Amino acid sequence: MKTLFLFLLGYLGLVTAGLANTIILSPDNNGNIYLKTPPPYGPGDTFIIKEDAKSLVLYNIKGSPNNYVVITTAPGITIGGAPNHTVGIYLCQYVKICNMHISGVPNQIGLKTQLCSDMTYENIQIENASVGFSLKNDPKQNAPETYYPVTINNIVIKNCTAKNCNNEGFYIGHTFSQPLYNQIPSPIIGLTVENLYVENTGWDGIQITNAQNCSVRGLRTKNTGTAQKGGQASCVALQDAVTGSFENIYCEDGTGGLTILGNGEFNIKNVTLKHVATAMNSNAIFVDNRSDHGLDLPARKLIMSDVSIVDGNPNGRYPVYILDGTTGNPPAKKAIPGTISNLTYEKSVWKNKINDAARNKFVGGSLNF
């Protein structure tokens, strides 16, 4: 493998066609790295950062479906300290970000991705940001590239953490209560998530919205929703226009609980909620049938199994509260009754019983309505 030394003011060496290269990135005199359509590189090449940097911005970096461009850091290197988002990624495709420690600032996003597709994130640790990790397209007026039918495809997030964030730990997909500028924000099509850990967030720990065909396994949160900001205090929020399967969720010490607002056959398995829903009138599990905002997704059918609610809040509302809401514009489709099996909770802790307006079938567990 040939090694190239690439600096922002120039580079040394030649790229040999057909060979993968390792290209060393160094910060400029202000401590920042800005990579925009750099000198020759090809799919499969790796950029490595070997010095601490204040920020990293990637713009219009392109790999190929079988050869992603890789951006990584050497062991012990930190990206952080810039007055704006510490890592910004724009208009990139077929790029993998891995093995990176990001130290943010309290009023800015730690790692922000916009207008990108076919991205992989592995082994990334983020701390001390407003939002730890954000991936979506923010809609702009008269900007069709930010709306459906443009989609964000094939996103993979594995073995990543967010700690000590003022707002959300992970903010995946655009949140919208109504279409913006009469358009639907770009949905994520194909989201794979494995092993996310969040600790100490003011708002939701992990939030996934407007993402279809999700395969999510391994979400862990601790001490979330500390700002007690109304509807933004969930440990895990699986929100509007979300479809797929979600397994191995563990939440501990949260002022809110698990929120489910998805569509289609919504599969959830192996959930432990320990000492959550500690705020007044909160729910350990809250389910509603929200609108898909024009994407024409199937009505929700909840399939949930092996759920344990440990401890609780005597001042809470319900251990499980399931609505069959048909509100919104356009309105949501009426939920299809599903099956909830092996759900347990401590009845002596909660002032109210399970409340299910969607008429799901409960099998085993703590059957108390």
pLDDT digits over 115-129, tens only?
999 999 999 999 999
Highest mean pLDDT among 9-18, 228-237, 302-311: 302-311
Rounded (10°) CA dihedral 80, 84, 86, 92: -160
Our CA dihedral for 78, 80, 81, 83, rounded to 10 degrees, sits at 170
- Alpha carbons 109 and 368: distance in angstroms, whole number: 43
**pTM assigned to the model:** 0.93
Question: Which residue did the predictor score with more confidence, 316 or 227?
Answer: 227
Rounded CA separation 73/86 (Å): 14
Residue type (1 letter), 123? N
Can you tell me the distance from the alpha carbon of 208 to that of 80, in angstroms, rounded to the nearest whole number? 25
Residue 176 predicted with pLDDT over 80: no
Q: What are the residue ranges spanned by the domains of the chain? A: 131-363
User: Residue 56 to residues 48, 88, 112: CA-CA distances in angstroms?
Assistant: 12, 6, 11
Tens digit of each residue's pLDDT (9 = 90 or more) over 265-311 = 999 999 999 999 999 889 999 999 888 888 999 999 999 999 999 98
3-class state of residue 247 by DSSP: strand
- The mean of the pLDDT values for the chain is 90
Per-residue model confidence as pLDDT tens digits over 310-333: 987 888 899 999 998 766 666 788
Q: Does the pLDDT of residue 9 top 80, yes or no?
A: no
pLDDT of residue 179: 65
| DSSP SS3 for 146 | helix
pLDDT confidence of 6, banded at 50, 70, 90? very low
Pick from 267, 271, 281: which is nearest to 310 by CA?
271
pLDDT band at 48 (very low <50, low <70, confident <90, very high): very high
Q: What is the pLDDT of residue 1?
A: 41
> SS3 for 48?
strand
Average pLDDT over every residue of 43-63: 96
- Degrees, nearest 5: CA angle 328-333-335: 120
Q: Are 156 and 97 in contact (CB under 8 A)?
A: no
The better pLDDT of the pair 332, 169 is held by 169
Give percent above pLDDT 90 in the chain.
Answer: 73
What pLDDT is stored for residue 325 in this prediction?
A: 72
Length of the chain counted residue by residue: 369
Integer CA distances (angstroms), 144 to 134, 180, 185, 198, in order: 21, 12, 10, 34
